[in-house]
A and B are shown apart, each in its own frame.
Chain A
Amino acid sequence: MLSVSKALAVRVEDVHLTYRTTVERRRTLRHTLFTRQRSVFEVEALKGVSFDVPHGSVLGIVGANGAGKSTLVRTIAGILPPTSGRIEVHGRVSTLLSLGVGFNRNLTGRENVVLGGLAAGMSRDEVDARYQEIADFAELEDFMDVPMRTYSSGMYSRLAFAVAVHMDPDVLIIDEALSTGDARFRHKSSERMKKLCAEDRTIFLVSHALGSVKEMCTEAIWLHKGRMVMQGAPDDVVTSYTKFLKVGEDAITMEDL
């Protein structure tokens, strides 16, 4: 589909994912006890998405709220099992998802970095070896030994980003996390991402910041209501997407959220 010469990083084949929840319309004790039927609420988040991504590419994923972007990257990371379809991932995946990296706010930055690294499957030595690099990259200094509940949201995402890129990932998944850092840190992170790409790693970038998608990605896909509408060069995809949104490429959508 894309450049054939490069090794395959991720193959997504006809992936469907349906969330099911039982909901009680009336949350009363009498209703719970005496009503047999509960309505099942189904959301088809992904309806047959397929694409291949070779190593060394930066894939931008754009789409309106509820398009299934976060669900898609979670299935690629192996966190959510698809309802049907198949996903093949070559290499170690590191995730930087929108909810933060599994961080416990009562623990210090240092403890969170160690736990995050160990949970992602690194050994104790690997974590220790990378710790200083991570701390330096996040520029948190003394805050590393303070509980994370005292962090600002910018500090939070800087640390999350630092952890994700230092996991030595073959596939890095970033879900709208770049938006909170300041301009300088954003520049630094895009430099780091370019470096990872140069090493033939693969990056998934989910973002509403169409400017960064155009600037950083080598490929883009546009999801709408669980279906893939378009796949192609970032410029083309972003142009069609903004045309679809009927807003045109004015300052508001180009600005990084």
Chain B
Amino acid sequence: MSATETGRATADIVRVHTPYRKGLPNLRVYLKDLWDRRHFAVELSRTQIRSQHLNTVFGQLWLILNPLLLALVYFMLVLILGRGRGQHDYLPHIMAGLFLYYYFNACLRGGAGSVVGGGRLILNTAFPKALLPLSSVLVAAYRFMPTLLVFLALRLVKGDGLSWTMLWGVPVFVFLTIFGAGMAMLFATLNLYFRDVSNFLPYMLRLWLYLSPVLYFPEQLLNRLPPALDHVVVLANPLFAPLATWSRVMVQDVQPQPLYLLISACWAIAALVVGSYIFLSREREFAVRL
């Protein structure tokens, strides 16, 4: 047992600070503290969004412009490389996949920088530090919403309309958010102990994009591989199943494969458990490491 214990005695709060030991803090107290400060996470992410585009001419319009330019760049790249020519649904597939992938990307990159960048707050206030990576996830989610609108607009313009199947996108989004939150906590901790992580992260994320079915359809990869490798690709890449399902339900209006949903859920829970264990068991030491 370590950490700070809270008890209520004669209407005043008593806190006892004892030496740091590796191990989880009192989870009930921690979660209560976290919940009591939920408005802090919301407010922090809101101010972050507001300050991001403060000095630009287009201002908040960048929330729409960014994804459009991103989709344009990758669409051009893929056209030039000549893959997917003649594939129906190619542009919507790239857009849907890129937007969701960049949502995860933002969770991870924001999370990795959140603790290292929160130096002053951490040195001056005692609060549950999991709020920092979690509010990066919130920032990423806020930024994802307009991109989703762009995608829906594209569908309407193309004359595809909306369908009930697209509701399957909700669980996919939830699983990816949980996975992203776990990874954000994991990388926030890693980045504090090995600052090299932030140098290495952009390359890892770029590679991860190419290994995931974003710039190509999942079948295109699976058909080229020997069948024995199929499972490896689907199971070992945590983004493969959610991104494949996302394209299936959002672009092709096809029911999701239950196996892929199950894999997405498993990765989400695994990342959350591992990420939050590593983060919570070390967070009391963060102030010394900054």
Are A and B subunits of one complex? yes
- Which residues of B have CB within 8 Å of A93? 15, 126
Contact between chains at B51 and A101 (CB < 8 Å): no
| Segment of B32-40, B177-185, B224-232, B262-270 in the binding face | B32-40
Q: Is A257 an interface residue (CB 8 A)?
A: no
Contact between chains at A102 and B121 (CB < 8 Å): yes
Contact between chains at B18 and A86 (CB < 8 Å): yes
User: In whole angstroms, how far apart are the Cα atoms of A101 and B284 in the complex?
Assistant: 19
Q: Is A78 an interface residue (CB 8 A)?
A: yes
Contact between chains at A119 and B17 (CB < 8 Å): no
Contact between chains at B43 and A114 (CB < 8 Å): yes
Closest-CB distance, B15 to chain A (whole angstroms)? 5
1/0 contact string of A93-118 vs chain B (CB within 8 Å) = 10101011111101100010011101
User: In whole angstroms, how far apart are the Cα atoms of A241 and B122 in the complex?
Assistant: 32
A173 (CB) vs chain B CBs: closest residue: B124
Contact between chains at B125 and A91 (CB < 8 Å): no
User: In whole angstroms, how far apart are the Cα atoms of A87 and B19 in the complex?
Assistant: 10
Residue of A99, A111, A119 near B47 (CB, 8 A) is A111
Q: Is B14 an interface residue (CB 8 A)?
A: yes
Q: Is A82 an interface residue (CB 8 A)?
A: yes
Q: Which B residues between 6 and 41 are near A, CB-CB below 8 angstroms?
A: 12-20, 33, 36-37, 39-40
- Which residues of B have CB within 8 Å of A83? 19-20
Contact between chains at B288 and A99 (CB < 8 Å): no
A101 (CB) vs chain B CBs: closest residue: B124
1/0 contact string of A180-204 vs chain B (CB within 8 Å) = 0000000000000000000000000
1/0 contact string of B35-69 vs chain A (CB within 8 Å) = 01101100110010001000000000000000000
Q: Is A40 an interface residue (CB 8 A)?
A: no
Contact between chains at B39 and A78 (CB < 8 Å): no
Closest-CB distance, A18 to chain B (whole angstroms)? 9
Contact between chains at A81 and B18 (CB < 8 Å): yes
Residue of A19, A104, A114 near B288 (CB, 8 A) is A19
1/0 contact string of B225-242 vs chain A (CB within 8 Å) = 000000000000000000
Closest-CB distance, B125 to chain A (whole angstroms)? 5
Known: A19-B288, A91-B13, A114-B43. A79 touches B18 (CB 8 A): no
Q: Is B287 an interface residue (CB 8 A)?
A: yes
Contact between chains at A79 and B123 (CB < 8 Å): yes
Q: Which A residues between 123 and 144 are near B, CB-CB below 8 angstroms?
A: 123-124
Q: Is A49 an interface residue (CB 8 A)?
A: no
Closest-CB distance, B290 to chain A (whole angstroms)? 11
Contact between chains at B125 and A119 (CB < 8 Å): yes
- Which residues of A have CB within 8 Å of B252? none
Contact between chains at B124 and A82 (CB < 8 Å): no
Q: Is A75 an interface residue (CB 8 A)?
A: yes
Contact between chains at A100 and B40 (CB < 8 Å): no
Contact between chains at A118 and B14 (CB < 8 Å): no
Q: Is B120 an interface residue (CB 8 A)?
A: yes
- Which residues of B have CB within 8 Å of A65? none
Q: Is A89 an interface residue (CB 8 A)?
A: yes
Residue of B40, B124, B131, B288 near A95 (CB, 8 A) is B124
Q: Is B165 an interface residue (CB 8 A)?
A: no
A86, A97, A104 interface centre (most CB from chain B within 10 Å): A104
Residue of B37, B40, B43, B126 near A79 (CB, 8 A) is B126
Q: Is B281 an interface residue (CB 8 A)?
A: no
B13, B127, B288 interface centre (most CB from chain A within 10 Å): B288
Chain A residues at the B interface, C-beta cutoff of 8 Å: 19-20, 74-93, 95, 97, 99-104, 106-107, 111, 114-116, 118-121, 123-124, 170
Residue contacts A-B, CB under 8 angstroms, 26 given: A19-B288, A78-B17, A78-B126, A81-B285, A86-B18, A88-B14, A88-B16, A89-B14, A89-B15, A89-B16, A90-B12, A90-B14, A92-B13, A97-B124, A99-B120, A102-B122, A104-B47, A106-B51, A107-B47, A116-B125, A119-B125, A120-B127, A121-B33, A121-B37, A123-B36, A170-B13
20 further interface pairs, Cβ-Cβ under 8 Å (given A74-B287, A80-B287, A97-B123): A79-B124, A79-B287, A81-B18, A81-B20, A82-B19, A87-B17, A90-B12, A100-B124, A101-B124, A102-B120, A102-B124, A103-B120, A114-B43, A115-B40, A115-B43, A115-B47, A118-B40, A119-B127, A121-B36, A170-B13
Enumerate the 4 nearest inter-chain pairs by beta-carbon distance, A residue then B residue, closest first: A102-B121, A118-B40, A81-B20, A78-B126
